[in-house]
Amino acid sequence: MVTLVNAQTHGFGARINQIGYGEQAKKILVLKDAGATSVEFKDLANGKTVLNVPLSAPATWEYSGESVRKADFSGIAKKGIYAAYVNGARISDNIIVQNNVYENVFKAALKWFYYQRASTALPFEFAGKWMRAAGHPDTSVSFYPEAEKPAGWKISSPKGWYDAGDYGKYVVNSGISVFTLLELYEHFEKELKKVSLNIPESKSQTPDILEEVRWNLDWMLTMQDPADGGVYHKLTTARFSGHELPEGDLAKRYVVMKTSTAALNFAAVMAQASRVYKPFDAKFSAKAIAAAEKAFEWATKNPSILFKQPEGMNTGPYAPSDETVQDEKLWAAAELYISTKKKSYENIIDNVPFDGQTPWWGNVNFLAVYRISDAKNGFKKDLNKKAQDTLIAVANTLKDIAENSAYGIPVNKWNFVWGSNSAVANNGILLLHAYYLTKNKSYLDAAQRALDYLLGANPIDISYVTGHGNRTPMSPHHRPSEGDGITEPVPGMLVGGPHEGGQDVKPNGRCENYVQKGKPALSYLDNDCSYATNEVAINWNSPLVYLSGALHFLNAK
């Protein structure tokens, strides 16, 4: 009788999805090349060999420099726990095959947004041992720099999610983060109506995912100036705080300049929210679309106000160097057209090209492609066709990489930036959109490989999600996890992931130099000093929620 092996402090060598696989999922094992040419899989319940498959010829993965071989064990399609062997020696952790295997990691990733709530205590009943006192009421927020406003100028801007490992609240990053969570609801409404997160609002008639997102939407609404519809870019302290808990961070907080990017991200998600929340709160729905149109109008009058960090402030900019607002304008116009059917919004889309960049906070063009490519949104046939062609063209590039690269992961060289794990997750979401459009399982299989990478099939041999996997990040750059005196970090957080920018490596600084030049996939450090590879963020967790949630629901179909 083979003893079931529990999680080891070290892996067995094979790179697999440490959470497991749905029964019909594509299953790929990656192994550093040591000459083996085949792999045996055993059912750990009875020690019987269930599959023997060949290993591919060795190939070098350009992002880690490793020479590896792949084995496709999709032939194992029966619920169970398995392990892989080469020449009789075990080479893999437990391989779990079961259709609901992603339920826990999906719910933990989504519940994490509750742990990010500002302006409220998180009681034990809902937060367990990561309970904490309230911080940042944000009911009396100044303007930065104060000299630009009348003496005593204040606004009340409570609630919202802390952006990341810091306590700032940022409208631009809220854009793609809120979109992604609400789009998951739009795509799996029936399933999500049954998902309880054990949050204070769980007893309401509104689905928990919508209750959680509402916490941030309510805050976003307070960031709009009722006088002119403009939207403040962020709400933060002047400088990043120390590593105390929210209750201990008492520095003055400010809103700063209105920007075109904030207004357009705001307009897009408020237009989306007006549709999604209408069956549950018609008043909020009406408020959201009015706010959306007002913000879009402000941005039309103020088309190129880009964020500029004020003197003396060092918190997040969310303003890439190559900033344009063309992508935000396209996305906002698309959402507003779907909500209002006003031709004026659709006409804007006629003149804005679709680009092929997978969406991130600095380029949301592809969010418009998702919308316009979906025939049920009612865009003109030529726009719908152009968007579908763009979606399939980019998806084919990613699918080709997943099918033919050494590790078989849909990732490009330019994805290895700060927050690279979110780029992989967003590549997976793009592939799922192509699957929805074509029903071609090869896109689903490629999306599976994106989740496999995040959950263990990577050169670091860890699951990048705290508390979910056999080996996971233990020291993320996340102030509540650093300051709460609890060894285990808050669970369900996707860390930023490897890249070779090394922005957190300073001479005599706390971060050892973890960068391996030319090997971005190896340039990662599980240490809270590394905000460039080991922080957490709402725009990183939201695509993890989408990818793990969608595959969870699709596995059940």
Q: Which residues bind ligand G3I (CB under 6 A)?
A: 163-166, 168, 316-318, 320, 362, 414, 417-419, 531, 535, 537
Considering beta carbons, is residue 496 or 549 the nearer one to ligand 9MR? Answer: 496
Pairing of strands 67-72, 59-60: antiparallel
* Position among 40, 166, 346, 500 found at the interface with ligand 9MR (CB under 6 A): 166
Q: How far is the CB of 355 from ligand G3I (least distance, A)?
A: 13
**Closest residue to ligand G3I using C-beta atoms:** 316
Whole-angstrom distance, CA of residue 306 vs CA of residue 326: 12
Considering beta carbons, is residue 158 or 476 the nearer one to ligand 9MR? Answer: 476
Whole-angstrom distance, CA of residue 374 vs CA of residue 276: 16
Which residue in 136, 468, 477, 499 is the catalytic one?
477
| 346 interacts with, out of ligand 9MR, ligand G3I, none, CB within 5 to 8 A per kind | none
As a whole number of Å, the CA-based R_g of the chain is 23
Which residue in 166, 183, 323, 328 is the catalytic one?
166
Pairing of strands 142-143, 253-255: parallel
Q: What is the largest CA-CA distance in the chain?
A: 78
Rounded to the nearest 10 degrees, what angle do helices 343-350 and 381-404 cross at? 50
Of the ranges 15-23, 159-167, 254-262, 462-470, which one interacts with ligand 9MR (CB under 6 A)? Answer: 159-167
Q: What is the DSSP letter of 56?
A: P
Of the ranges 13-21, 160-168, 176-184, 336-344, which one interacts with ligand 9MR (CB under 6 A)? Answer: 160-168
Q: How far is the CB of 268 from ligand 9MR (least distance, A)?
A: 24
Whole-angstrom distance, CA of residue 227 vs CA of residue 115: 33
Residue 484 is among the residues annotated as catalytic for this protein: no
Task: Quote the Cα angle for 298-316-521, to 5°.
Answer: 120
Q: How far is the CB of 242 from ligand 9MR (least distance, A)?
A: 8
Of the ranges 164-172, 254-262, 349-357, 464-472, which one interacts with ligand 9MR (CB under 6 A)? Answer: 164-172
Q: By CB under 6 A, is residue 346 in contact with ligand 9MR?
A: no
What count of Cα atoms within 13 Å lies in the side-chain half-sphere of residue 103? 12
Q: How far is the CB of 130 from ligand G3I (least distance, A)?
A: 19
- Determine phi and psi for 119, rounding to 5 degrees: 65, 20
Whole-angstrom distance, CA of residue 394 vs CA of residue 279: 35
Q: How far is the CB of 482 from ligand G3I (least distance, A)?
A: 14
Residue 166 is among the residues annotated as catalytic for this protein: yes
Pairing of strands 48-54, 38-43: antiparallel
Q: How far is the CB of 540 from ligand G3I (least distance, A)?
A: 8
Task: Quote the Cα angle for 228-364-501, to 5°.
Answer: 115
| 145 interacts with, out of ligand G3I, ligand 9MR, none, CB within 5 to 8 A per kind | none
Considering beta carbons, is residue 355 or 482 the nearer one to ligand 9MR? Answer: 482
Q: By CB under 6 A, is residue 164 in contact with ligand 9MR?
A: yes
Which residue in 163, 327, 346, 535 is the catalytic one?
535
Which residue in 327, 526, 528, 552 is the catalytic one?
526
Site for ligand 9MR in 506-535 (CB under 6 A): 531, 535
Whole-angstrom distance, CA of residue 195 vs CA of residue 329: 33
Task: Quote the Cα angle for 315-332-289, to 5°.
Answer: 100
Residue type, 11: G
Residue 535 is among the residues annotated as catalytic for this protein: yes
Cis, bond preceding 543 (omega within 30 deg of 0): no
**Closest residue to ligand 9MR using C-beta atoms:** 166
Q: How far is the CB of 324 from ligand G3I (least distance, A)?
A: 12
Q: What is the DSSP letter of 71?
A: E
Strand stretches in 242-312, DSSP E: 253-255
- Size of residue set near ligand 9MR by CB under 6 A: 7
Residues making contact with ligand 9MR (CB under 6 A): 164-166, 240, 316, 531, 535
The residues carrying an active-site annotation are: 166, 477, 526, 535
